[in-house]
Amino acid sequence: MEELKTLLFDIQPFSVHDGPGSRTNVFFVGCPLFCKWCANPEGFGSRKHLMFAESVCKYEDGCNVCKNICPYDSISYDEKGKPSVNWKKCIKCTTFECSTICPNNVFKVCGKEYTVAELYKMLLRDAQSWSAGGGVTFTGGECTMHYDFLLAILKKCKAGLIHTAIETCAYCPTDHFLELFKYINFAFIDIKNMDDERHKEGTGVSNKLILHNIEEVVKSDWHGRLVLRQPTIHDYNDSDENAKKIVAFMKKNGLFEINLLKFHRYGQTKWEQLGKTYEYADKGDMTQERMLELQTMYLNEGIAAYIGDDTPF
Ligand code: SF4
Ligand code: SF4
């Protein structure tokens, strides 16, 4: 039987904000949502793709090493010699010659294929750095999209007594979700907007399956720790009304922890480097005052609300 493989866009050791202790974060390529604020847009798509870091190009110093390298004629040059990428042509590339030639790493390939055995070996390499109950966090992109691969690596981790965490949008078939959770110790699950129309507007999909999956996990005999997570965005999901609906949902399901992540634009440059339009460039900022007001609302309802990196592990 052919060995399972998947595409990852990063493996980051020494993470301390994505589960207990010091951890290794594994980022999967691919996501069923398309959140307008996404901070990891290199996780979009289902195949290897290019990032073009125009700002570090040395064309002004006379560099033109990449000239004629692209077999698809996707790179063009203006009168000053500044290169740009034709994304419509580039999207079909499988060979990425440009990434091998630029001395300044202007062209970077997102996505590298791993087998389960290769990833597990990488995790064992990091194991010495996992302190205070650390382990591995599967994230992305959306790791549950890679059901067979994720289930296989989770089973290996469980057999190896490795602590497992997941960061997920919970948009996957319910039977997959419940099966995966049998091998997960800790979960951050995103809850972006309780209003279905606004959820579709911000993410491209309905929230119904997501809410259903959360309810099903709670009803199951899973014994891990679940913290809901909300990327908190001005004029999108920071209203009292939305918070009240989340509180009601949490109380109904016996959930009592939420992590509020203040909206930021750290992903903007990456959107540009991928040739995508970042619609949230001019989105209003969340004030710290509003974050604290929301936190107080939850606390008054008996729900522990943590802002940013303050989730205790
Ligand atoms: S090789 Fe790299 S640094 Fe030189 S012109 Fe091309 S993209 Fe710019
Ligand atoms: S990724 Fe491929 S098509 Fe795109 S610029 Fe590089 S070599 Fe050309």
Q: Write down how long the chain is.
A: 313
User: Among 94, 110, 126, which residue terminates a domain?
Assistant: 110
What are the angstrom distances between the C-alpha of 46 and each of 4, 140, 164, 209, 300?
A: 16, 12, 24, 22, 43
Residues 249 and 159 in one domain: yes
Residues 129 and 97 in one domain: no
Q: What is the pLDDT of residue 283?
A: 84
Separation of 225 CA from ligand 1 center, angstroms? 48
Token pair listed for 121:
């070996």
Residues 103 and 225 in one domain: no
Query: What domain count does the chain have?
Result: 2
CA angle 128, 123, 310 (to 5 degrees): 75
- Report residues of the chain scoring pLDDT below 70: 1
Q: pLDDT digit string (tens) for 70-92?
A: 999 999 999 999 999 999 999 88
Residues 285 and 158 in one domain: yes
- Which pTM value belongs to this model? 0.94
Range of the domain at 84: 49-110
Residues 161 and 198 in one domain: yes
Residues 296 and 248 in one domain: yes
The protein residue with its alpha carbon nearest to ligand 2, atom 8, reads 70
Residues 182 and 92 in one domain: no
The protein residue with its alpha carbon nearest to ligand 2, atom 1, reads 96
Residues 75 and 221 in one domain: no
Percent of the chain with pLDDT over 90: 93
- 93 Cβ inside 6 Å of ligand 2: yes
Q: pLDDT digit string (tens) for 168-213?
A: 999 999 999 999 999 999 999 999 999 999 999 999 999 999 999 9
Whichever domain contains 77, its CATH number is: 3.30.70.20
Q: What is the pLDDT of residue 91?
A: 87
Residues 134 and 197 in one domain: yes
Q: What are phi and psi of 77, to 5 degrees?
A: -130, 140
Q: Does residue 1 lie in a domain region? A: no
Candidate of 55, 58, 60, 96 to mutate for ligand 1, largest count of ligand atoms within 8 Å of Cβ: 58
